Structure 1
Amino acid sequence: MKRVLPALVLICVTALTATACSDPTAGDGGSGADSGAPVDPTARLDGVKLTMWTAQNTVNAPRQVIDAFEQATGATVDTQAIPDLYEQNVPTKLASGDRPDLMFWQPSVSTLPFVQPRQNLLTLDGEPWVGKLGDTERSLGVVDGKRYAAIVTSPAMLGVYYNKDVFRKAGITEDRFPRNYAELLKLGHTVKDRTGAAAFYESGGDKWPLQWQMQVQLTDLDQRWWAGLNTNKEKWTDPVVVKAITTYKDQLLGAGLAQKNYRTGTFTGSADALWNGEAGMVLNVTSFQTQLQAKHSTAEIDRKIGWFPVSRSDATGMYSPDQTNGVVAFRTGDEKRQKAARQFLAFWLGTDYAQYIKAMKIPSVQPGVPSPDGLPGTSLAQLKALPTANGVFQAKAVVAPDTHLYLADMIYGKKTPAQVAQAIQDQFAQVAKAQGTPGF
């Protein structure tokens, strides 16, 4: 999951707010296409054309459900790939007045506000598929008590991918898997000392994966701390955050637990290094597994790669929402298309859902719909860990600052841990203020 919040996004947030406020139809009321009257997922829609925005890397993700929906209803759904960086360019297009009918968008409290959901999106409370979602999935897509996103895939899981051959060589069995972050670092020394492989592969070249080692160490912060952060009463400069950054710098990187080229390592390089046994572990989200599945069969992955969850104090996993998890529907002013957009979501998460996840080879977000056969063991382990997982800060903070950029500055010798924390806090407060967050 890549997150970018440059200064341009601040401009987009302001522009979107102004555009919405000048629209006499904007707001919570008005649209008969909002939730309430149930829709028939397979009702005929001959002649209706819907537009759906996707990121460049997800343009084919809805292909199966679109084909099935078009065949069942006679509608047409046209996908349009928005150039990268997605989270930056979508607000820019919306601020110019352009609107799709549907769009992939990260269903988190830190990212949904970028598209001004109250003014721009249809509310989806009471849709028949809402009650079918798992508990974690149902918690996503909601802002200020209202649902604005349908959850079509499970959030990514953050955890440790490990090479089974390296662990076997190091004498590490499942009963010795770490039960907290301190034990994870200790296990890293075991891997390094006994095998000669790097304990961890870090991707300083791509930067965005740098956030995860810090994230894992913040799971001790309870919801009261996050609530304080979101009202400007707690800060990213608090000692507990600075300590997490310092631990990453000194006890992992400084202790030689990463590969030698960690400053220039890449995301794709991490998958190759783990597969080849050059690194024992990679801490990353589910997109890492997607890389493996693109190159190797389920049987090959099961023989070579395992996965386990870990947090600061226990072995609980972490979930991380991304833009492939949620689909939002826009207020376009066209009642027929708005109703058709709701029908498409009802079809996706109802009539077609079992076929969709089978085609995509992904876990189910609905406990009542079994996940397809043939998923790798790593995927099944993540599915098992999801119900008790903690959310990463993108799911808890009202703004998701670019921690990875400042951590990259640190590994390149440009910032101290305290300076990293201050940069994170400065950006967090700036964006929160631009969004009109109370307390900022």
Structure 2
Amino acid sequence: MKKLMMTTATLVAAGLLVAGCSDPGAGTSAGSGEPATWPEATASLEGVQLTFWAAQASNTIPEGVIDAFEAATGAEVELVTIPDPYENGIQTKVATGDKPDLAFWQPTSSMLTAINAANNLQVLDDAPWIEDMDPALQDLTGILNGTRYAALVTSPSVQGVYYNKKVFADAGITELPTSFDDMVAKARVIKETTGVTPFFEEGNTGWSTQWWPQVLLADAAADGFYDDLNANKASFTDDVVVDAITTFKDLIDEGLFNSDIVTATFEDQGDALLNGDAAMAVQINALFGQLQAKADTATLDETIGFFPISPSGNVATSHPDQSNAVVAFKTGDAAREAAARQFLTFWMTEYYPTFIEEQNTVSLFTSIESPASVPQALRDVHASLSDSVGSMQAQAVANPDLWMNVVDVINGVKTPEQAAEATQQQFVELAKASGIDGF
């Protein structure tokens, strides 16, 4: 039932959002036909009220900037937490005309398409801070059909491998894996020599199970798989996808994963990695955020490392998530729209050095150094973006529930072939609902 509800919500939202086929306000202020302006970061906004939507996982991130912005400008910003599933909830609200001024949003092609960015989001092409960002990040994400709709506020998430340095040392492993097969070979060594569980996965909510087949698709992604998928020339039923899901299932069957994979939680995963009860976890930055809440930087630097992985090497899969970027909505109110742009300017200029200190995170700007307290693993994650490939969410025009189907494989409900077929069917449905050519 949960799967049906999520899929239906996505399809309903996509259908309603696509219904408006014209876009008179693209790149303009409140549809006036005039180019959007970017007010000074601290200009007075007395009497202006803004609403900011965030997920349960991201609702603490903007608290500092909101307080500082209110003090500097006189504006009022209401922070509203949207219950999970966050993205589906927002799409349904927006489809009925309920819009915030600002919101966290996954800045990928699939999710910008899903929210019908051209009709619903302000254009951020001329944002005054973009040229000061690290050139490798300026156009990495947040852009759909050549137009920028999302402001990157933190380093984009990456699918890669977090590992326990002490477990590796105990197993006599002195060099990091140089390919997926090498990682598996080292996992077997770890199990044989230390008895520690090589890989830990959480199948309780299961959203992270999809990272395994996705990192196995990194080479195919680099070769244009998602471009072909978007053109309806490739399919999730192709051998490369079925083989990726099958490989994941085979490693589970081999006993290289935690025995409680079906019931283990995201919290369990972090604890197991930090405590040395597991050697590795394929995850995104959210896992490290959890670890930062459990241990200080010195402990993390001593215990936890990161390496990117792909079938043939060490290529990361970039996966910008909703906590990495903010969008500003078209509300039809010129004053509020300008104030929303001013809020983004304030965040990314005046307040940014304070923000990265608060979040203990990597700087997006070459002219602003990352805090000394940022753990090395997080710096390594950020460095892997320079030659990364995009994830399914980043490159595909629609975002099917691959993870749900992979969970079904783990639970023995589907075969890898059936999981791939279900993913493809939903992808086609979503692409059609979004009006993508060729479907």
Report TM bin, short chain: over 0.9
Aligned to 1:162: 163
Q: How has the CA–CA distance of structure 1 residues 156 and 52 changed in structure 2, closer, same or farther, with 3 Å as cutoff?
A: same
Q: CA deviation at 1:39?
A: 2.1
CA contact (8 A) 1:271 1:292 kept: yes
The one-letter amino acid of 2:263's match is: T
Closer/same/farther in 2, CA of residues 97 and 192 from structure 1, 3 Å limit: same
Q: Deviations over 1:322-381 (max 9, x none)?
A: 101111111111111111111111111111111111111111122222111201121121
Contact 1:137 1:155 in 2 (8 A): no
Map of 1:114 onto structure 2: 114
What is the CA-CA distance between 1:223 and the residue it aligns to? Answer: 5.0
Three-state SS of the structure 1 residue aligned to 2:349 is: helix
Q: Which residue of 2 aligns with 1:371?
A: 370
Are residues 1:56 and 2:56 paired? yes
- The equivalent residue for 2:359 is 360
C-alpha deviations, 1:1-40, integer Å up to 9, x for none? xx9952221011112233x45x996656663597553421
Task: Rate the CA distance shift 1:86–1:33 in 2: closer, same or farther, 3 A.
Answer: farther
- Offset at residue 57 of structure 1 (A): 2.3
Deviation at 1:67, TM superposition (A): 1.2
- Contact 1:28–1:118 at 8 Å: present in 2 too? no
Specify the alignment match of 2:276 in structure 1. 277
Contact 1:55 1:86 in 2 (8 A): yes
TM-aligned CA deviation for residue 133 of structure 1? 2.6
User: Using the alignment, how far apart are the partners of 2:434 and 2:324 within structure 1?
Assistant: 23
1:78-99 alpha-carbon deviations (Å, 9 max, x no partner):
1111111101110111122111
SS at match of 2:318: strand
The residue that corresponds to 1:96 in the other structure is 96
Q: Which runs of 4+ in 1 moved over 4 A?
A: 23-30, 32-36
Partner of 1:41: 41
Q: 1:170 offset after TM fit, Å?
A: 0.3
Q: What letter matches 1:103 in structure 2?
A: A
CA RMSD after TM alignment: 1.9
Aligned position for 1:388: 387
1:202-239 per-residue CA deviation (whole Å, 9 max, x = no partner) reads: 11122111111111110111353221100111111111
Deviates more, 1:134-143 or 1:336-345: 134-143
Alignment partners' CA distance in 1, 2:166 and 2:88: 41
| One-letter amino acid matched to 2:239 | P
AA aligned to 1:8 is A
Structure 2 counterpart of 1:84:
84
CA distance in 1, matches of 2:170, 2:430: 48
| Distance change in 2, residues 1:118/1:316 (3 Å) | same
Instruction: Tell me how far 1:137 sits from its aligned partner.
Output: 4.8
Q: What residue in structure 1 maps to residue 236 of structure 2?
A: 236
Q: Is contact 2:363-2:369 (8 Å) kept?
A: yes
Question: How many Å separate the matches in 2 of 1:57 and 1:279?
Answer: 24
Opposite residue 346 of structure 1, the aligned amino acid is T
Give the match for residue 132 of structure 2: 132
Q: Number of matched residues?
A: 433
Alignment pair present for 1:226 and 2:226: yes
Find the aligned partners of 1:172 and 1:180 in 2 and give their Cα distance.
15
User: Which one-letter code corresponds to 2:108 in the other structure?
Assistant: S
Task: Work out the CA distance in 1 between the residues paired with 2:372 and 2:386.
Answer: 20
C-alpha displacement of 1:76: 1.1
Q: Take 1:235 and 1:136, find their aligned partners in 2: how far apart are those partners?
A: 29
Counterparts in 2 of 1:335 and 1:148: CA distance versus 1, 3 Å = same
1:340 aligned counterpart, secondary structure: helix
Spell out, residue by residue over 1:128-171, the C-alpha distance to the aligned partner (whole angstroms, 9 max, x if none): 11222332353211111111111111111222111122111100
Would the aligned equivalents of 2:27 and 2:36 in 1 still touch at CA under 8 Å?
Answer: no
Q: Distance in 2 between matches of 1:429 and 1:349?
A: 38
Give the equivalent residue in structure 1 for 2:336: 337
C-alpha spacing 1:340/1:184, structure 2 compared with 1 (3 Å): same
Distance 1:238 1:124 in 2: 37
Structure 2 equivalent of residue 311 of structure 1: 310
- Cα distance 1:106–1:409, how it changes in 2: closer, same or farther (>3 A)? same
Q: Distance in 2 between matches of 1:64 and 1:106?
A: 21
Cα distance in structure 2, aligned partners of 1:39 and 1:307: 40
Summarize the alignment of residues 190-229 of structure 1 with structure 2, pairs less than 5 Å apart.
190-221=189-220, 222-229=222-229
SS of equivalent residue, structure 2 residue 218: coil
Alpha-carbon distance between aligned partners in 2 of 1:307 and 1:232, rounded to the nearest angstrom: 35
**More displaced stretch, 126-135 vs 32-41:** 32-41
Distance 1:32 1:133, change over 3 A: farther
Q: Which structure 2 segments of 5+ residues have no match?
A: none
- Relative to 1, partners in 2 of residues 1:350 and 1:29: Cα closer, same or farther, differing over 3 Å? closer
Indicate if the aligned counterparts of 1:35 and 1:126 stay in contact, CA closer than 8 A.
no
Paired with 1:35 and 1:265, the residues of 2 have a C-alpha distance of 51
1:85-130 Cα shifts (integer Å, max 9, x gaps): 1011101111221111111111000111222111111111121112
Q: Which residue of 2 aligns with 1:425?
A: 424
Q: SS where residue 109 of structure 2 aligns?
A: coil
1: distance between equivalents of 2:215 and 2:84? 27
Contact 1:137 1:154 in 2 (8 A): no
TM-score, with length taken from structure 2? 0.94
Closer, same or farther in 2 for the Cα pair 1:62/1:227, shift >3 Å?
A: same
Task: Tell me how far apart the structure 1 counterparts of residues 10 and 248 of structure 2 sit (CA, whole Å).
Answer: 29
Distance apart, 1:66 and its partner CA: 1.1
